Amino acid sequence: MPAYSTPPNAAELAAQLTQALAQERIVQRFVDSYVVENGRHALQVHAPLYRDLITLLQRESLIAATISLLENVNAGPKGTKSLRH
């Protein structure tokens, strides 16, 4: 009989994902590089607007990463059939 691993803990994965986004400063680095590469310095001048932009993009990146994570978990380990019917 094949051994089945337990599915990942969703709450733990969500916490790790949120922590990684914050630790790696992915969104902030993206915005900063966008500003420099495209000469959009006005995006950083107004602190409240900049914070709002960062917050919005962090939320969107968390949603996108969560969807990708769910798709990968649902697909199961490589080389096995999907959990979908």
Alpha helices in 25-80 (DSSP H): 26-38, 42-45, 47-75
2-32 pLDDT tens trace: 455 676 677 788 788 888 888 999 999 999 9
> Please, what's the largest Cα pairwise distance for the chain?
62
* Contact indicator for 82, 74 with CB cutoff of 8 Å: yes
* Cα–Cα distance measured from residue 63 to residue 24, given in angstroms and rounded to the nearest whole number: 17
Q: Radius of gyration of the chain from Cα atoms?
A: 18
Kindly report, residue by residue over 45-72, the tens digit of the pLDDT: 888 988 999 999 999 998 998 888 888 8
Query: Is-above-0.75 flag for pTM?
Result: no
Q: How confident is the model over 74-84, as a mean pLDDT?
A: 64
CA 59/CA 63 separation, integer angstroms: 6
